[in-house]
Amino acid sequence: MYRQFALLLLAIALIVAPEGASAANPTGAATSTVTSSPLGQFSPTFVGPAATGCKAAGCSLLTGPFYSPSTASFSEDSAVPIPLNNSGSGGHREMPEPKRPRPPAQTAVTPFVVPPTVSCEPLGAGCDFINSSAGGAVGVKGINAADNGELSTNPLGIDIEPPDQGLCAGNGYVVETNNQGSILIFNAALERLSAVIPLDTVMGLTTRGWSSGGDPSCIYDYDNGGHWFFTEFVSASSEANEGPFTGCFAGVAYSCYEGIAVSQGSNPFGPYYVYFVDANYNPAEPGYPFLLNDFAKIATSRDAFLLFYDEFPTGPPAGLGGGGFNGAQEFAFSKKALELGLPTKINGLPNPDFTVAHENMGLIPTPNGTCFSDNEYHLPGITCWYAVIPANPPDPTQYDNSHGGSGFMLESLDFYGLGDDRIAVFAWTGLENLNSSGCSSCSAIQFDGQIFGGVLPYYGEGFLSEQASGPIPLGDECGAAGLSVGSPPPPSCPENGIANNGDDVTQASQAQGQIWGAVSTEINQTFSSETSPEVHQGVAYWVIGTDSFDASGQFSFTSQGYVSPMHEDVEFPAMAAEGYFYQDTGNGGAIMTFTLSGNGGPTGANNGGFFPSTAYGRLASFSNGLLGSVINIADMGQSPEDGFTEYDGYPSVYRPRWGDYSHAIFVPGSGGRIYFANNYIEYDNCTGSDFTLSIGTCDGTRDGYANWGTSVNYVVP
């Protein structure tokens, strides 16, 4: 049963942060020795049938299945231009970016850690050469702004930024997902098999009068004959009425859901079983019924489908302790029930064979306080577990079946937005008990965590990456409209940088008995020929061992490193490793992928830098950095990012948004390929009369308000 809030508050008050946790402080520098300390073990907040879990009559955590037919009619051979239901000119919307609160005195406080420094001259660890060749990678263009603007389920032609991206692969298919709610299907050779397919269609949203809310993810799972999972948050408001912007994002009660579409077989075209998680399933949650399920992160284990999201109230009351945030919400659903399309209810009663375990991490203390009050400022909402992400194994050989079936998670710990030198690893155990009828043995399911302190420090809150200069027709249009700022106003609105979205882990992978994860960080590059360091955006990454967890219940620390392209910047790292291990060398192949951009630094190196490009580097679990200190450009960007969030005066200050996630996944039986996907700029920006504020301008290569593009690639590490 759900714990009563009065008892929870008392329990939290009695729990203190474990001794030995590496608690960063405003003046402390990172230590050179990695330490480890347990966070404790917790019983789930709730275990039981997935159709129960809240007090209100008729309220259900999970409903379904609803049946959605095959999307085979969207095959590439049948693709035709989609007529617009408007005049051809679309609007533009920035996806809201809910953020947990920060302390009011944050700007007056020095970083918790010293921002990291790497030596580029002479060359040292963490500084990397840029090789403009693809290095063996094969890539194709993926979904772009014009594709999304022309979706039949986007009748208003609204451009969305950022273009959040997902990728999944298996059974001879590769599938890309993107914001606005769309997927694109390829074969293993990356030949297109489909037109761009709306997730509204996949999930049957249009017939319900609902809409895609974004943050899509996908996974291919090999069990039970093979199945594809597609998720996104869903708004109970129609696309014709501006979709989630008049529902979930507008703070409308009872409007936010997480959609889960599961293919009925191993074909990504479907048909599908569709389920909906109700973000407002529990009236006891602060902020009910105005709760938003932000950025669902998914993975599978042998027994469970793991779905995690961050819970934000969009209306009063304002979250745990009044802090505007309820913490990370972790769900482990019976995977078999989803893949078999079992009903969540039978004859109006919860199906005992469709089970779930839920952990509300907003109720678990952190080393710096609780979600109700942090130890420094005594304010709510600051020191909450946030953006916890499950580690996804590529196939069943990489599942961890110890301790009755385990699933792993990773998180950075920068609660104050001032940098940190700690990471946290969590584990579900006993997940096989989800297969017990009515969850009768689910008391054996546990949730625990461990802190690693003194890891390589990271510092990445709110910084922007640079990009090379080039034509910006939307910026010119902005200036011509009188929206530029200055005295006198410049002819174009000033081009800004690219947001790296802070230092959260946005993908975690599980392979070779390791968990792989990375975050963005500010990095100071030093050059003996330059008097001052160059400040750039790079990557800190960590590899965490799980074999020791199998034996003793404690994770081990394998390796770590920095990645930083010389004179340039990177955004949104993701990692994936081959699903096997070379016993003779102790290393299996792996890659890190990201967007690379930059202006060449103060010396204008690299001919003035790079437009946003898809890039990657090879590494291994013990390499402590990229192999050979080399970054390869898989797909070279052709122009600057020129979307509507890029301009300071358009008409007010915007934070330029980029694709919030990159993805990489190893596919067994593919000849050792790792598939990966990133945002980059696919085409040259046209100028003058060739550019109009319309959908599919510049010969269809971009939209008037957005020019983002994506690429899908594979490489053998």
Residue with tokens 């049946």: 67
User: What does the pLDDT look like over 672-693, one tens digit per residue?
Assistant: 999 999 999 999 999 999 999 9
Task: Look at residue 32 and tell me whether its pLDDT is greater than 80.
Answer: no
Q: What is the mean pLDDT of the chain?
A: 89
Instruction: Specify which residues 161 forms β-bridges with.
Output: 94
- The residue type of 375 is N
User: What does the pLDDT look like over 338-379, one tens digit per residue?
Assistant: 999 999 999 989 999 999 999 999 999 999 999 999 998 999
Instruction: Specify which residues 663 forms β-bridges with.
Output: 677
Q: Assign 3-state DSSP to the chain and report helix, strand, coil percentages, each to 5.
A: 15, 35, 50
Task: Look at residue 586 and tell me whether its pLDDT is greater than 80.
Answer: no
- The domain total for the chain is 1
The pLDDT value given to residue 141: 97
Q: H-helix or E-strand containing 551?
A: helix 547-552
DSSP 369-417: B-SS-BTTT--TTSS---S-EEEEPSSGGG-B-GGGSBEEEEEE--TTS
Task: Look at residue 424 and tell me whether its pLDDT is greater than 60.
Answer: yes
User: What does the pLDDT look like over 95-153, one tens digit per residue?
Assistant: 888 887 877 765 545 667 888 999 999 999 999 999 999 999 999 999 999 999 999 99
Q: Show the tokens assigned to 6.
A: 């009065």
Question: In 3D, which of 557, 538, 537, 539 has the Cα closest to residue 549?
Answer: 557
Q: In what order do the strands lie in the sheet with 569-577?
A: 129-131, 630-635, 610-619, 590-598, 569-577
Task: Look at residue 711 and tell me whether its pLDDT is greater than 70.
Answer: yes
Question: In 3D, which of 127, 118, 119 has the Cα closest to residue 629?
Answer: 127
Mean pLDDT, rounded, for 201-221: 96
Question: In 3D, which of 518, 347, 523, 332 has the Cα closest to residue 433?
Answer: 332
Cα torsion through 365, 254, 91, 212, rounded to 10: 80
Residue 109 within any structural domain of the chain: no
Residue 260 within any structural domain of the chain: yes
Task: Look at residue 31 and tell me whether its pLDDT is greater than 50.
Answer: no
75-to-203, 503, 650, 713 alpha-carbon distances in Å: 17, 38, 38, 21
Helix or strand or coil: residue 101? Answer: coil
Question: In 3D, which of 144, 138, 134, 228 has the Cα closest to residue 189?
Answer: 138
Q: Show the tokens assigned to 91.
A: 């609007």
User: What does the pLDDT look like over 609-668, one tens digit per residue?
Assistant: 999 999 999 999 999 999 999 999 999 999 999 999 998 777 776 678 898 889 999 999
Residue 117 within any structural domain of the chain: no
333 alpha-carbon distance from chain centroid: 20
Contact 577, 593 (CB under 8 A): no
Contact 236, 205 (CB under 8 A): no
Residue 311 within any structural domain of the chain: yes
CA–CA gap between residue 426 and residue 442 (Å, rounded): 18
Contact 335, 305 (CB under 8 A): yes
Question: In 3D, which of 500, 515, 464 has the Cα closest to residue 594?
Answer: 500
Instruction: Specify which residues 392 forms β-bridges with.
Output: 509
Residue 115 within any structural domain of the chain: no
Question: Range with the lowest mean pLDDT among 417-431, 495-509, 675-689, 701-715?
Answer: 495-509
User: What does the pLDDT look like over 284-311, one tens digit per residue?
Assistant: 899 999 999 999 999 999 999 999 999 9
Q: Across 29-43, 245-259, 482-496, which has the greatest mean pLDDT?
A: 245-259
CA–CA gap between residue 354 and residue 14 (Å, rounded): 35
Residue with tokens 């994936």: 576
The pLDDT value given to residue 283: 87
Question: In 3D, which of 363, 228, 234 has the Cα closest to residue 305?
Answer: 228
Comparing 495 with 266, which gets the higher pLDDT?
Answer: 266
Residue 44 within any structural domain of the chain: yes
Confidence of residue 14 (pLDDT cuts 50, 70, 90): very low
Q: Across 56-70, 487-501, 582-596, 609-623, which has the greatest mean pLDDT?
A: 609-623
Q: Name, in order, each residue with C-beta under 8 angstroms of 378's C-beta and a sequence gap of 6 or more.
A: none
Contact 574, 518 (CB under 8 A): yes
Comparing 20 with 354, which gets the higher pLDDT?
Answer: 354
Mean pLDDT, rounded, for 457-480: 92
Mean pLDDT, rounded, for 415-436: 96
Q: Which residues of 365-386 are buried (b: 16+ CB within 10 A; e: fewer)?
A: bbbbbbbbbbebbebbbbbbbb
Q: Show the tokens assigned to 379.
A: 């304010």
The sign one gets for the Cα dihedral 483, 489, 491, 492 is: negative
Instruction: Specify which residues 635 forms β-bridges with.
Output: 614
Residues recorded for the chain: 717
The pLDDT value given to residue 22: 35
Residue with tokens 């899908």: 712
Question: In 3D, which of 662, 508, 567 has the Cα closest to residue 129?
Answer: 567
Question: Range with the lowest mean pLDDT among 280-284, 597-601, 604-608, 692-696?
Answer: 280-284
Residue 428 within any structural domain of the chain: yes
The pLDDT value given to residue 386: 95
The pLDDT value given to residue 89: 53
% of the chain with per-residue pLDDT over 90: 78
Comparing 19 with 215, which gets the higher pLDDT?
Answer: 215
Task: Look at residue 7 and tell me whether its pLDDT is greater than 80.
Answer: no
Confidence of residue 86 (pLDDT cuts 50, 70, 90): very low
Q: Show the tokens assigned to 714.
A: 């594979």
User: What does the pLDDT look like over 539-568, one tens digit per residue?
Assistant: 999 999 999 999 999 999 999 999 999 999
Q: Show the tokens assigned to 225.
A: 């004959």
CA–CA gap between residue 186 and residue 661 (Å, rounded): 20
Residue 65 within any structural domain of the chain: yes
Rg (alpha carbons) of the chain, rounded to whole number: 24
Question: In 3D, which of 681, 679, 612, 589 has the Cα closest to residue 166?
Answer: 679
The pLDDT value given to residue 487: 86
> Domain span at residue 58?
5-95+130-715
Whether the ω angle into residue 122 lies within 30 degrees of 0, i.e. cis, is yes
Task: Look at residue 257 and tell me whether its pLDDT is greater than 70.
Answer: yes
